Structure 1
């Protein structure tokens, strides 16, 4: 087996300096050297098996393959466009980077190519599901769930600051009592109940203001139907004490809540203001249009791909947590300040 040459070996053979050899092999065209000498350096490097020369002429690396694991089913994804928007952003970035992306729904791991370079998991996953994914590849990125403590890259939304902004907005309008419709759900294997992070942020901030009232909070399951049911329950239970403002933690629930208010002849926003979260297309296709916290779902998906590329290209093993900010979109369901 031939022994790779050093720069010194090449310099001695050609009769030039180490610096000259280095600059020629790095294709430095600003170097004043004859074409004959340049050609001789490359020929000697090839003859002596210079390894850097070999790397420059190596074939391009293979196309990266990413498996997208969506915890929702195809049908449920259409009911909550938030997760679909994240997936589309992810697939768009893969197309831009010429990465081969395949997708599977409801954690169907049997559909994942065993030769994938990385997996991007969208949604919520139990410890057992995370372990199963890790058996397929160590290169995991989670979107919408913080798995940093388990050693995996994660991309999440800044829920706490967003909720504080909504509460500040309502406080400036004079709303001292704010109702909350939030969600609760389980991972698809039924082993982990996922508490709505917006509920935690809401309770923390309202408690700090000495204004948290558990009787004004109602738990659903993020669906349009549960938003409708929980608002009906709030109207029936609270009567004239129904608060003048509600924060609803996703758009489908907010649309259902809006329907319940309409059916009970409760004017929005004059009697009750509504503020939603995620700002999917649903927020703009109801009447009145919903004020909503805008989450850049496309950026969430794209950032996950960027983390995969960085990990694979640099060999990084330290996990990273990327938090994406939000923006308040004020529309007709809230009164003007």
Structure 2
């Protein structure tokens, strides 16, 4: 069985660094590249954290379906963090864990006891998952109405709180950079769930000319902010809410290239709070999404469904917290 020492040697870092990164120590200052090396080393060595008290061997099979390919996941710390949290929680709970990428299910050797699906799926993909799964849980996709367990984030209260703080600190006009996603089979477009709460909170102050939509990538954040800077000029909003860290990094780059001061001229609030938010210059104020707890909640739902043979779908909604940094005045 691989040890923390094996991972440290493979990733060329200290044993303490490996331990703190794999335990999601929020106080640990480590670069994205180092964190990535540690995660990749742990994956390559098939590291399993020891935690079972009874010493029994896993007997149930759990498959994680990651809607991203491995290449896509390398560029998105959000879904990587959720996947790793699911794997860790599942192994602690005694499951044998298999992970497949790109929404692929055709390679299953047999039907797993539990499938935890990360990301967004079309109705056709969901039907395929149902056919190969005894219990099915979705993470970051609200499937309660369709009759399936899911774990999601409370965006409504997070957005209300952030907008209130921005307004209290001088922001009269607030814009938004949102995202749009498409399922791996290209059958379903997923609108950003942050758009409607944002619109409702602003009410009569909402102005569609101050909004832009990207694809959650760094480049789209840069392109959309650069376009707004050109189009709006002096009417550029006093603040923006941006739907993930990658887009926020791109938007920040466009603002700084245009010599627009952050936060004195434009304040920025992002979502997710992956490590890149704290390493940006200036640091990005972020709504912290509980990625680690999403994985644990998904495994808890799966275990409950197995134990109780629950026939009704259940949704777990996780709260957020605001982490203030240098991109805002609060």
TM-score band w.r.t. shorter chain: 0.7 to 0.9
Please give the alpha-carbon distance, in whole angstroms, between the structure 2 residues aligned to 1:92 and 1:61: 15
For structure 1, the residue ranges without an aligned partner over 5 or more in a row are 1-59
Q: 1:62 to 1:252 in 2, by over 3 A?
A: closer
Please give the alpha-carbon distance, in whole angstroms, between the structure 1 residues aligned to 2:326 and 2:186: 39
Contact 2:241 2:269 in 1 (8 A): yes
Q: 1:94 to 1:238 in 2, by over 3 A?
A: same
Alignment of 1:263-274 (within 5 A): 263-274=257-268
Task: Single out whichever of 212-221 and 106-115 deviates more from structure 2.
Answer: 106-115
Give the aligned partner of residue 190 of structure 1.
Answer: 186
Give the aligned partner of residue 40 of structure 1.
Answer: none
Give the aligned partner of residue 304 of structure 2.
Answer: 310
Give the aligned partner of residue 233 of structure 1.
Answer: 227
| Structure 2 residue 127 is the aligned partner of structure 1 residue 124 | no
Deviation at 1:62, TM superposition (A): 6.6
Please list the CA deviations of residues 25-79 of structure 1 after superposition, one character each: whole Å capped at 9, or x if unmatched: xxxxxxxxxxxxxxxxxxxxxxxxxxxxxxxxxxx89711110000011111121
Q: Which SS does the other structure have where 2:84 is aligned?
A: helix
Q: 2:169 aligns with which of 167, 173, 197?
A: 173
Deviation at 1:157, TM superposition (A): 0.2
> Cα RMSD between the aligned structures?
1.2
| Structure 2 residue 77 is the aligned partner of structure 1 residue 81 | yes
Superposition TM-score, scaled by structure 2 size: 0.81
Please list the CA deviations of residues 66-112 of structure 1 after superposition, one character each: whole Å capped at 9, or x if unmatched: 10000011111121211111111101101211211110111111222
Contact 2:269 2:327 in 1 (8 A): yes
Please give the alpha-carbon distance, in whole angstroms, between the structure 1 residues aligned to 2:58 and 2:89: 18
Q: Which SS does the other structure have where 1:328 is aligned?
A: strand
Alignment of 1:21-40 (within 5 A): none
| Structure 2 residue 282 is the aligned partner of structure 1 residue 288 | yes
Alignment of 1:131-150 (within 5 A): 131-150=127-146
Please give the alpha-carbon distance, in whole angstroms, between the structure 2 residues aligned to 1:271 and 1:61: 58
Please list the CA deviations of residues 161-210 of structure 1 after superposition, one character each: whole Å capped at 9, or x if unmatched: 11111111111112121011010111111111100001121112112xx1
Give the aligned partner of residue 294 of structure 2.
Answer: 300
For structure 2, the residue ranges without an aligned partner over 5 or more in a row are 1-55
Q: Write out the 4+ residue segments of structure 1 that deviate beyond 2 Å after TM superposition.
A: none
Superposition TM-score, scaled by structure 1 size: 0.80
Q: 2:248 aligns with which of 217, 238, 254?
A: 254
Equivalenced residues, count: 275
Give the aligned partner of residue 96 of structure 2.
Answer: 100
Please give the alpha-carbon distance, in whole angstroms, between the structure 2 residues aligned to 1:323 and 1:66: 22
Please give the alpha-carbon distance, in whole angstroms, between the structure 1 residues aligned to 2:108 and 2:161: 40
Please give the alpha-carbon distance, in whole angstroms, between the structure 2 residues aligned to 1:82 and 1:205: 26
Give the aligned partner of residue 201 of structure 1.
Answer: 197
Whichever of the two has the greater Rg, that structure is 1
Give the aligned partner of residue 242 of structure 1.
Answer: 236
Q: 1:231 to 1:107 in 2, by over 3 A?
A: same
Please list the CA deviations of residues 304-329 of structure 1 after superposition, one character each: whole Å capped at 9, or x if unmatched: 01111111111111111000000000
